[in-house]
Structure 1
Amino acid sequence: MTDSGRHGFATRAIHAGQDPDPTTGSVIVPIHATSTYAQDGVGGLRGGFEYSRTGNPTRTALEECLAALEGGRHGRAFASGMGATDTALRAMCRPGDHVVIPNDAYGGTFRLIDKVLSQWGVQHTPVALSDPDAVRAAVRPNTRVVWVETPTNPLLNIADIAVLAEIARTAGAKLVVDNTFASPYLQNPLELGADVVLHSTTKYVGGHSDVIGGALVTSDTELDAAFGFLQNGAGAVPGPFDAWLTLRGIKTLEVRMEKHSDNAEKVTEALLRHPRVTRVLYPGLPDHPGHEVAAKQMRRFGGMISFTVEGGEEAALRVCSRTRLFTLAESLGGVESLIEHPGRMTHASTAGSLLQVPADLVRLSVGIESADDLVADLQSALA
């Protein structure tokens, strides 16, 4: 699709990288289920493809679409969000380098940095990214990456991307924004000065809890080349069917995110009124400490909510076990609503660290069911 940057989000989601197939006219990108490609003589590649770990037309369509949605020049798709995370950090860091991370980062990200990359000599400092002065104090001469989640997982804190981009730039570091919670529809970090955007496309981008994937998007050609080298060299690539499923999910991203946000707002209102709920964490609330920044850099506030309940951990566990429409499961961002206990589930790896999450915390991924049904389900579980 020509001039995709001039088109609206929904148009890009449906058309970017997805022109009708030139051979058959198929309006949907084919699943190119092949491992290798015939060459017209040694080095005579048809369309630039030689081996599907290195490149596959279905994957290329996904990568072009993701880049268009984030306003970047280059996109790379991976077999998982953690595959994308590992690639980004290993492309930008060497032994002895330092990374600034959120003090409430996703448990898988923390585990990778604290337990895996530390063996490679990469150092890290957890810090409240909502506090620019704390970030400046955490930066060292060997800092290569400032790693940002906004909203964070699971405490839904907000970081000012433009401010952190300037701090990273001044320090000679790169700003990477994990945009999974917001999705490209609600937030575009590259426009705010970030160097790299990361997604677990498993979540809102795919949107149907049926495919695992990850992505990196940047406008930095040198960084993209480094990502591409590791994508091919380490091989954490998605298969063509995974790429195709993710593309299919992307087509409805705008309408889904609007519904997720609508429902989350109604669920938030109900939780605020419930006597057993002691705190509601949602950036759309006017009294949320990051509300003004979120309103400035996000279209809406998304479908993720966390809350605490009176009675501590046991009460939180009871709530998680008693819902019927909210399914007790890890992950997020699908059309169905999910509930989980971060301390025992997605963030168990942070136990005993500075990133340990509150024991009475419950996290919701609000789906696109009827909002009244979701509210009734939570009220029953909290009764």
Structure 2
Amino acid sequence: MTNASNARAASLAHLRSARLSVGDPIPLPLTMAAIFHAPGDATGFNQYGRFSNPNWQAVEEMLGHLEDAPCVAFPSGMGAISAVFFALLKSGDRILLPSDGYHTTRILADRFLGAFGVTCDVRPTSSFLDGGFDGYRLVFVESPSNPTLDICDIAAVAGGVHKSGGILVVDNTTMTPFGQRPLDLGADIVVAADTKAPNGHSDVLFGHVASRNAEVITAVADWRQTAGGIPGPFEAWLVHRGLETLELRFDRMCSSAEIIAPRLKAHPAIHSIRFPGLEGDPSHNLARAQMERFGFLISFVVASEDKAEDFINGCELMHAATSFGGVHTVAERRTRRGDAVPPGFVRLSVGCEPVEELWQSIKASLDRIIA
């Protein structure tokens, strides 16, 4: 990681220190409250649970520290994406989405934004610059894309979008601020599902919006308060706990993925593989330029649907599960989720297990499907 990333990681767990008095708990207390003592003019204080909560504020401070930008927390990643769409778009606007990114974002646009007069187009991540961005109020990219791990040049996209008068939103869920910094590359807004690596323990849904544009943050925060799309205090407390170890977990997961990916590529059961850290991967050179790490997701194809299921279910150190970014290694055959991928396509999320033991478990399961 860069020196700046190391500095952010070092200070992350100490953000509350300056406000502690003698005898205060060092871990963040859990504040389960819908109402607060608010006599007279309580402006600037907690008053009601839909308006604010100390646990939201603490986790937003941590996320803001990592993003180097104000953040607004939400009860899921899709909650964060929805807030951006509904707070910033109006009837008659056109938006551009990735055709190969997380499918629920496209479902939201097709089913709900269209009913309000917002037009949606899609474009592959690998050729996202083709065609320009004239006429788009909002452009949304996901790089690397989930699940195929294609990449686009975020800085170049940002320049094109801004030249055309639009705003650029980047879904950075797969990378976290320790792996990629879209705001530094010119994005106006970052959205992410902190359900994944930031929380890291697969026990809570959460999301956030980050932006250095004060008007965006105000609009998104106002939408959250009015619409009621708020995170729970306990969920915020869990994410706060998870963020304290994000740098450690993310480093372990990325380092393990860099070891495992070339071994997968060499295994005879693997027909094709995508991982930005592999030399020869179509995204490798761009990934080296715009990402601080190559991530912990690996996508590959085996011979058939049955062999993909047998591989996942037969691996002792792997869970068959959707989602990614937790301490457990998990994998999923993505055609189950409607992605346009081959039947034997597997998305592997490398966890925190010791890498050599994890690889031996993966190899043994792959060996079985070619036996």
TM tier relative to shorter chain: over 0.9
- The separation in 2 between residues aligned to 1:125 and 1:62, in whole angstroms, is 34
Equivalent residues in 2 for 1:104-119 (5 A)?
104-119=100-115
Taking structure 1 as reference, are residues 181 and 17 closer, same or farther at Cα in structure 2, changes over 3 Å only?
Answer: farther
Question: Match of 1:59, as an amino acid?
Answer: W
Partner of 1:320: 312
Question: Match of 1:53, as an amino acid?
Answer: R
Structure 1 counterpart of 2:91, from 79, 95, 104: 95
Helix, strand or coil for the counterpart of 1:315? helix
Partner of 1:33: 32
Q: Deviations over 1:9-31 (max 9, x none)?
A: 21242133565545852212211
Partner of 1:207: 200
4+ long deviations beyond 6 Å: none
Partner of 1:294: 287
Partners of 1:325 and 1:377 within 8 A in 2: yes
1:243 aligns with 2:236: yes
Partner of 1:378: 362
- The separation in 2 between residues aligned to 1:294 and 1:375, in whole angstroms, is 24
- The separation in 2 between residues aligned to 1:129 and 1:308, in whole angstroms, is 20
Partner of 1:353: none
- In structure 2, stretches of 5+ residues that fail to align are none
Q: Deviations over 1:35-59 (max 9, x none)?
A: 1111131x224x5211121111110
1:16 aligns with 2:15: yes
TM-score normalised by length of structure 1: 0.90
1:262 aligns with 2:260: no
Q: Deviations over 1:40-98 (max 9, x none)?
A: 31x224x52111211111101111211110111x1100001111010011112112211
Partners of 2:125 and 2:145 within 8 A in 1: no
Structure 2 counterpart of 1:192, from 182, 185, 188: 185
- The separation in 1 between residues aligned to 2:42 and 2:22, in whole angstroms, is 20
- In structure 1, stretches of 5+ residues that fail to align are 351-355
Helix, strand or coil for the counterpart of 2:341? coil
Partner of 2:352: 368
Q: Deviations over 1:278-329 (max 9, x none)?
A: 111100011111111111111111110000012x323223222222211000
Partners of 1:13 and 1:253 within 8 A in 2: no
Equivalent residues in 2 for 1:66-85 (5 A)?
66-72=63-69, 74-85=70-81
Partner of 2:273: 280
Report the identity percentage. Answer: 36
- The separation in 1 between residues aligned to 2:129 and 2:140, in whole angstroms, is 16
Q: Deviations over 1:193-214 (max 9, x none)?
A: 1101111000011011111100
- The separation in 2 between residues aligned to 1:39 and 1:260, in whole angstroms, is 45
Helix, strand or coil for the counterpart of 1:157? coil
Partners of 2:129 and 2:157 within 8 A in 1: no
Partner of 1:357: 341
Partners of 1:165 and 1:193 within 8 A in 2: yes
TM-score normalised by length of structure 2: 0.93
Partners of 2:38 and 2:45 within 8 A in 1: no
Aligned residues: 364
Taking structure 1 as reference, are residues 19 and 241 closer, same or farther at Cα in structure 2, changes over 3 Å only?
Answer: farther
